[in-house]
Chain A
Amino acid sequence: MTVTDVVRDRTPESGGAPVLEATGVTMRFGGLVAVNNVSLQVVEGEILGLIGPNGAGKTTFFNCLTGMYKPTGGEVRFMGTPLPPKPRAVVRAGMARTFQNIRLFGNMTALENVMVGRYCRTSSAAVTSVLRGPKFRREEAATRQRAQELLDFVGLGRTAEHLARNLSYGDQRRLEIARALATDPQLLLLDEPTAGMNPQETDQAKDLVFKIRDSGIAVVVIEHDMRFIFNLCDRVLCLVRGETLVEGTPGEVQSDPRVIEAYIGTGGDDDNGPADGAAEEDRS
């Protein structure tokens, strides 16, 4: 595990400045507790993995962080200030995400998709857009150029004019990342970035995440591909039934019997049971 060795010094204990601090985040849907009292700290330049069996509440937790859901309990602080539960405000603050089920603007070109990502960092208003003064043209050209740079960065430079829906599955995932990067984030949340990829594409995705980290952006990754996670992350958090089961270095988490149990089960009761099991425990 050479990777882990290299980046050991980026863990919170070593005193990197925290980018994101979530404390006691809880999300209830009626009687169902999807996320229960989960705390998380991400520091600058870190790659954090979020794992857990299906239904463990990983995506729900993401949605709480990015303002898609308003958490029923707990607090999310970004760069020291509390985040309002509005996706737009979260993006403006500097936290961008991708989606588990790809949500690109399919009938726009790759370039246009990334240009939409620049929306919150540009300011041309309606009147400016109609008048087309020099400021508008400068900003438009800058937007286009930055979008092209980002496409080059993720390796899609040659497909800029292709419609998003015509791209291959792996390219669509990379385009989503480029679109998220266009918002100039300090923290990037990736929801299953390698789902549906072949081993070769997964490898490229890993390199891409490292490249993003090296450009100074912290990354949180949800993933089911354990090899990917343990090769990539500085720290790993394992969620089961909406609660933190283990948190630690990839080596620690990998060897923890509880993690193995959570994934494979003990052969006893509801091994892969969704979060409603947790809900019942919580109520009692």
Chain B
Amino acid sequence: MNERITERLKLPDSVVQKYGRFGWPLGLAGVALVIVGAFLSWSYDPDVLGDLSLNLYPGGLQILAIIIALVSLALLLIVRGPLKPRFGPWVDAALGLRAAGTWLLIYMALIVAGISAEAGGLINVNPGGWVALLGALLLFAGSRLIAPSAELRDLSEAKVPSSLEILVIAVMMAAILFGAAYALGREDAWSFVLFLVFAGGLIAIGVRTGFVTWFGHSSIRNRKVLTLAAFVVAFFFPFTQGGSDANMSIATQVLIFAATAMGLNIVVGLAGLLDLGYVAFLGAGAYVAAMLSNSAFATIDWKPPFVVVMLCGAGVAATLGLIIGSPTLRVSGDYLAIVTLGFGEIFRLSMFNLDGTNGPLLTNGPNGIPAIPDLEIGSFNFGDTHEVLGIELARFSNYYFLLLALLAFVILVFTRLNNSRIGRGWVAIREDEKAAEAMGVNTFGLKLLAFAVGAFLAGLAGTIKAHQDVAVSPDQYIFLESAFLLAAIVLGGMGTVAGVLLGATILKLLPEKLRFFSEYRLLFFGLLLVLMMRFRPEGLVASRRRQLEFHEEDEELAVAVESELAEEVGK
């Protein structure tokens, strides 16, 4: 894969031979121009894309350009310069520079396009913008003339002190926290998209230079540190928002979505069962919580402590899972998908019709159950604003912490089940169900268990969701939601934790920040999935085993997976 893309981007050999010696100076000149340009004014109008109109005082987007330029400078110095002896054999600087050139060019072109679109015409682009664009062009051209790095050594052999590895993990996590807070702070769509391009550029550089591979290895070695750091970062996220509830609302949506997707990941990713009606289990939990919430519209006049509500909601969902699973899990593949699809619709229509006229009064039919009071655990009311360390944490921040704990629990269940007798049984079923059965694996029971555990976790998430959303109604639990959950898993990478979290974040965050394209979001996501299936069927973050299933012929990959599994076992 790597090789194929390199081939495509390569200039003819004759050109590289003839003008290759200009590559490095061209690149350096490009980097210098971008940095100089970033200190000049980009835009005549101070009101577009943040303020980019001042000389010698770079605005946010200009700083992003400087960051990419500095990374490129470091890569140039690895190709030829003082950093070469230390990093030369390990870092694929030439490929990294190509990625940097391409993405910086896209970035600057979008800046120019953005300024002219927002302010009305190219006339509003100040010289600094043109200088930086020219710099990006030079870097783009120069990077293509630099000969590819020869004789790279295998990154898994790289010996780095583990304290440094942990430091890198910490820095990466801090960067993610900072990046997430920054991205959520972008109000206008242009700035947000430009930030995404910037992030995409950094990731592309990381992939091409081999940094991502190395980081992958080191995070396997320091898995506990990585997990801890990720949760610390997630924990401190609300403190970066300065009491703003708007972004925290989005963040809680993302967490609920991620926790639910993680539960579905057990069913789809581990046991390999296609469930198209999964959102019904989320709905079951939410409805149970709503009915037991003492809302003015609740149909049951009983309000137990929330822990009991959670268990009730999850229990009801799990029971539904068992009821729907026991007859249908004997069929497989396509049939199961259709049956679960039908089950999802049955759930929605039942909630729609249990309104006292068509059936017993349970759900108020299409009106649902509104005015659900905020959660109260002990004396802690989730609706109030609390002050911690001088920072005000409002309603959504409170729910955020609760949901974070839930997500941690779901991930714990997922990983521990995955690495156990049960998980091995699931993988065996996915690989060859007949052989698994002949080796004594209780295939039906295990599939049913996957269904029940998945439903249980979704039910848990649902009970919190009801309180956070203040209302439940049947139209929140339509088929499209199930499809989105599934899309998050497929996009991120089936059977992985990091991938599904990433997929869920992308699918929930993008529509929230890019309101203008909400009409086209289905088109966009459809296109995204088609492209993913074509170019990276294993998802953004691939479980190595899964990756193998999609690339049967790739022997190198198979050997790589072996060494990784061995590393994990060695832990």
Contacts and interface: CB of A to CB of B under 8 A. Distances in A.
B562 A105 contact: no
Nearest to A114: B439
Contact of A105 (B431, B442, B561): B431
Contact of A103 (B422, B432, B566): B432
B119 interface: no
Contacts of A105: 427-428, 431-432, 435-436
Nearest to B452: A126
A138 to B, nearest CB: 13
A186 interface: no
Contacts of B555: 166
Contacts of B441: 88, 116, 119-120
Interface string A163-201: 101100000000000011011000000000000000000
B565 interface: yes
A266 interface: no
B507 interface: no
A120 B436 CA distance: 11
Contacts, number: 118
Given A105-B431, A107-B549, A126 B412 contact: no
A132 B416 contact: yes
Given A103-B435, A130-B413, A109 B424 contact: no
Contact of B416 (A66, A117, A130): A130
Contacts of B559: 166
A106 interface: yes
A106 to B, nearest CB: 6
A122 interface: yes
A120 B548 contact: no
B143 to A, nearest CB: 38
Contact of B449 (A108, A115, A120, A126): A126
Most chain-B Cβ atoms within 10 A of its Cβ — which of A99, A120, A125, A161?
A: A161
B384 interface: no
A87 interface: yes
B565 A161 contact: yes
Contacts of A92: 440
A180 B435 contact: no
Interface string B391-427: 0000000000000000000001100110011111101
A92 B437 CA distance: 11
A162 B562 contact: yes
A107 B545 contact: yes
Given A91-B440, A166-B559, A161 B428 contact: no
B95 interface: no
B377 interface: no
Contacts of A88: 437, 440-443
Given A91-B439, A132-B416, A124 B421 contact: yes
Interface string A133-176: 00010011001000000000000000001110110000000000
B197 to A, nearest CB: 36
A151 B196 CA distance: 50
B438 interface: yes
Interface in B522-571: 545, 548-549, 555, 558-559, 561-562, 565-566, 569
A125 B413 CA distance: 13
B437 A87 contact: yes
Interface residues of B, number: 37
A66 B440 contact: no
A99 B435 contact: yes
Given A97-B438, A129-B420, A179-B439, A108 B412 contact: no
A106 B427 CA distance: 10
B431 A124 contact: no
B428 A108 contact: yes
Nearest to A116: B428
B153 interface: no
A166 B438 contact: no
Given A126-B449, A129-B421, A130-B413, A116 B439 contact: yes
Interface string B29-58: 000000000000000000000000000000
Contacts of B565: 109, 161, 163
Nearest to A106: B431
B434 interface: yes
Contacts of A108: 424, 427-428, 431, 545
A68 interface: yes
A112 interface: yes
A120 B421 CA distance: 10
Given A126-B449, A129-B420, 20 more contacts: A66-B438, A68-B434, A88-B441, A92-B440, A99-B438, A104-B435, A105-B427, A105-B431, A105-B435, A107-B561, A117-B439, A119-B441, A124-B421, A130-B416, A161-B562, A163-B558, A163-B565, A179-B439, A182-B439, A183-B440
5 nearest interchain CB pairs?
A: A120-B440, A91-B440, A129-B420, A103-B435, A105-B431
11 contacts: A92-B440, A103-B438, A104-B432, A107-B431, A115-B424, A116-B428, A124-B422, A129-B416, A130-B413, A143-B421, A166-B559
